[in-house]
Amino acid sequence: MSGAGRFAPSPSGDLHLGNLRTAVLAWLFARSTDRRFLLRVEDLDRVRPGAETRQLDDLAALGLDWDGPVVHQSQRIALYENAIARLAAQGRTYECYCTRREILEAASAPHAPAGAYPGTCRTLTDEQREQRRATGRRPATRLSALVDTFTVHDVLRGDYTGIVDDVVLRRGDGVPAYNLAVVVDDAAQGVDQVVRGDDLLGSAPRQAYLASLLDLAVPTYAHVPLALNAERKRLAKRDGAVTLADQVALGHSPAQVLSRLARSLGLARAGETVDLPLLLDRFDPATLPRTPWVFARPGR
């Protein structure tokens, strides 16, 4: 087997049906292309006790399997620091003292590209930097990007060009930032196929650019449509019975939940119960729905 795909949940709560659907897709993409399938717990941020175990149990209950041990980002800080040091050695980092509020204000200025950090701290003089240091605020470390945009290829979306700004590499609290960690991990783990929710499509150009600066291979992307609630907003816990445990409590077996997910992907017929080997047989990225899955509770 060459290459690997992965699923990389953040253990901040239970996976909902949209997350489980993405996990099934990531597994199908990997297995149908003879790749390994890896699980990585992205626990640099908010961790809810018990969430990881429930997430892994839910994935296994749907029949997903993965290769090798589950990797935890919190155990890999040295790798991320090493990458930051390499970028620093290229002169591609700077300290940023901006508060969230300052960034929002600057980013809403006329002509600022939407959602991009405007580079306020990039051009601080030594004196200005000393003044900010003297306030005792701990700086974030940002990338000093040489481009404004970058193009990635997405299996479902084609070529996608998006903003690259001076992304945070290490947060003010000293924790490596998601955009850096994900790039370092995917490369270190041999991940060459990234399948995830299309809410992250906008981050892919930044991540691919970072990979290129670090001389790392850029993976193939497939950003899959999200699950939405009846109001067409992103599915969330408050939408009711959206976790596997909720569904089981309503009397639906994991196999029935998998079948419902498969139906939403056009891989099963109404009333049909399917398993993963059958889905693998039927899976064809070309036929996947390109629009969000609207999950409405039956009887509503």
Q: Give me the active site residues, please.
A: 237
Comparison of 183 and 276: residue with beta carbon closer to ligand GLU: 183
Site for ligand GLU in 20-59 (CB under 6 A): 42
Q: Tell me how far apart the alpha carbons of residues 27 and 182 are, in angstroms, rounded to a whole number.
A: 18
Tell me how crowded residue 23 is: count the other CB atoms within 10 A of its CB: 25
Binding segment (CB under 6 A) for ligand GLU, from list 4-12, 46-54, 227-235, 291-299: 4-12
String of contacts with ligand GLU for each residue 168-187, x by CB under 6 A: --------------x-----
Q: Give the nearest distance from C-beta 47 to ligand GLU in angstroms.
A: 12
Q: Which parts of the chain fold into alpha helices (H)?
A: 17-32, 51-61, 77-89, 100-107, 126-134, 178-188, 204-213, 244-249, 254-264, 276-282
Q: Does 9 bind ligand GLU (CB under 6 A)?
A: yes
Of 33, 31, 24, which is closest to residue 59 (Cα–Cα)?
24
Does residue 30 have a known ligand-binding role?
no
Q: Does 200 bind ligand GLU (CB under 6 A)?
A: yes
Q: Are strands 293-294 and 220-224 parallel, antiparallel or unpaired?
A: unpaired
Comparison of 140 and 183: residue with beta carbon closer to ligand GLU: 183
Does residue 97 have a known ligand-binding role?
no
Comparison of 142 and 196: residue with beta carbon closer to ligand GLU: 196
Q: Euclidean distance between the first and final Cα of the chain, in Å?
A: 46
Among 36, 76, 142, 196, binds ligand GLU (CB under 6 A): 196
Token look-up 């992250």 returns: 200
Residues in touch with ligand GLU (CB under 6 A) = 8-10, 42, 182, 196, 200
